[in-house]
Structure 1
C-alpha cells in the first residue's frame, strides 16, 4: 500500500542509529506516523523540523503497519520560526493539541487552518487570533463545535457578546444581561466585529479563555489530562502587549 500527500511536521523521535519516526499532520490522511530511514542525516534533519511542510510518500505492506516515509521539503519555515519564542511554544502547543485527534482520520478543514497558522506563527499581530481560530477548528473537528452565528435565546444575529458554557452557543447582550456573570465573553474578532487589523489584548484573552473552557470541558478533563504547558506559555506571550 502507498500514498503521497503533503503534511506539516509535528515531531520526530529517534529510531535506531540513523532513522527517525516522523509524525505528520497530512492534508488527506490525517495525523500519520512513519519510519524515515536515514532521517538523522544532516540533509534530512533540516527538512524534518516541526513547522515545515513536506511532501511525503508512505509505503507499507498492510494499512495497519507503521510503514516508511520518503519525504521532500516543500515549505521550510522552521529556521525562521526558531527565532521566535512565541512560535516555538506555539509549535509545541499545536502538536500536543493535534495528538487528541485520532490517528489517520482526515480533517481537511483543520489542516487548512493549521497551515495558515504555521505560516504566521512568528507574527505577533496575526498568530494569537489565528491560534484561537485553530483551537475552535479543533473543537469542531472533535464534535464540540461552537455556534456563534445567532443568539441561543432569541435567534438574533446582532449584539452577540456572550457564549453559553452549557450549549456553546452565542448569546446577545440583552438576553444575557441577567446571567452575564455565568456566561463567557465572545470576542468580536470571532464574528467579524473587530475593525482593527489586530484584535485588542482583551479580545485575545477572551478568545483563549473561551477555547480553554471548552477544551477542558470536552477534551482534556474527560481524558484525565492537563492542557499542554506550552500552550500556557504561548498564551502568556501572545497577550503580553499593551492595550
Structure 2
C-alpha cells in the first residue's frame, strides 16, 4: 500500500457516483494530488471539501499511480470566510482553479503552497487582496519556469521608469525603450515594480499581464483552456476599473 499524510488546500471537488466526490488538493510537502472521497458530495461532508479549505488529509492507494482515496479533517474553514464578499469569492475560486490547472500532479511545490496558503488566510479582505493575488500569479509563473524579468529594461538597461513588459520575452521595458512599439506591449502596473498600492485600473492591467503568460506558456502548452473562474475574475476587474 502507498500512504501519506499532509496538510492540504482543497482545490476542487467534483461529484462522482452517488454521494461521492473526486477531490484535488495541493499538499504542503506532496504537491497536487487527486483522490476519491467516500461521501464527499453528501450533505454531511460537502462543506468540508469546499475549495479553499485547509485540511489534514490522508491519501492511500494500492499503487502510487492509482487515483487513491482521500480522507480529511478540518484545519481552517477558509471557504466560509469568502461567502459574503464577491471579490473574496472570485479571488478564492480563481486561485484554486489556476493552481489545479497549472500545477503538475505528484510534484512538490512548496512555494506555490505557501503563497496560496498566505493568500487564502486573508481571503476576507476582499478587493484589497486583489493586487496580492496578481503577485501570487507572478510567483506561480516563476515556480513553473516562466518567470517575468522585471529587473531592468530590455532595451536601455535602466532599472527605473519601467512601464511595460514584452509579451514575447516577458522582460520589462521603459517608456523610452518602448518608443513606437508601446501599444504592442503589456502594461506593467506600478505595484509590481515595488511596494506601492494598486491604483485604479492597475489590478486589471496586472491580470492582463499574468493572464497572457498563463494562457500562452502554462495552459496553452498543456492544451488546456484558461479556467473559467480566472476569466470571471479578470472580467470583474475590467468592469469595475480595479
Q: 1:38-57, aligned counterparts within 5 Å?
A: 38-57=39-58
Give 1:225 shift.
4.0
Q: What residue is the counterpart of 1:128 in the other structure?
A: 130
Classify the secondary structure of the residue corresponding to 2:201.
helix
In the alignment, the residues of structure 2 paired with residue 46 and residue 217 of structure 1 have an alpha-carbon distance, to the nearest angstrom, of 35
Q: 1:154-173, aligned counterparts within 5 Å?
A: 154-173=156-175
Q: Which ranges of structure 1 fall in alignment gaps of 5 or more residues? A: none
Classify the secondary structure of the residue corresponding to 1:109.
helix
Q: What residue is the counterpart of 1:151 in the other structure?
A: 153
2:91–2:130 Cα contact (<8 Å) kept: no
2:88–2:127 Cα contact (<8 Å) kept: no
Q: What residue is the counterpart of 1:103 in the other structure?
A: 105
Residues 62 and 136 of structure 1, relative CA distance in 2, 3 Å threshold: same
Deviations 1:103-124 (A, max 9, x none): 1111111111211222333433
In the alignment, the residues of structure 2 paired with residue 181 and residue 19 of structure 1 have an alpha-carbon distance, to the nearest angstrom, of 50
Classify the secondary structure of the residue corresponding to 1:147.
coil
Deviations 1:184-239 (A, max 9, x none): 21111112152xxx411221121111112212222333444432332232223335
Q: What residue is the counterpart of 2:92 in the other structure?
A: 91
In the alignment, the residues of structure 1 paired with residue 195 and residue 91 of structure 2 have an alpha-carbon distance, to the nearest angstrom, of 26
When normalised by structure 1's length, the TM-score is: 0.87
Q: What residue is the counterpart of 2:211 in the other structure?
A: 212
In the alignment, the residues of structure 1 paired with residue 126 and residue 175 of structure 2 have an alpha-carbon distance, to the nearest angstrom, of 30
1:8–1:51 Cα contact (<8 Å) kept: yes
Classify the secondary structure of the residue corresponding to 1:123.
helix
Q: What residue is the counterpart of 1:235 in the other structure?
A: 234
Q: What residue is the counterpart of 2:5 in the other structure?
A: 4
Q: What residue is the counterpart of 2:202 in the other structure?
A: 203
When normalised by structure 2's length, the TM-score is: 0.87
Deviations 1:86-107 (A, max 9, x none): 3333333333322132111111
Q: 199-208 or 94-103, which moves further after superposition? A: 94-103
In the alignment, the residues of structure 1 paired with residue 180 and residue 17 of structure 2 have an alpha-carbon distance, to the nearest angstrom, of 62
Give the alignment's Cα RMSD to 1 decimal: 2.3
2:11–2:52 Cα contact (<8 Å) kept: yes
Deviations 1:60-103 (A, max 9, x none): 22211222222111110212212223333333333332213211
Q: How many residues align?
A: 240
In the alignment, the residues of structure 2 paired with residue 242 and residue 205 of structure 1 have an alpha-carbon distance, to the nearest angstrom, of 7
Give 1:41 shift.
4.6
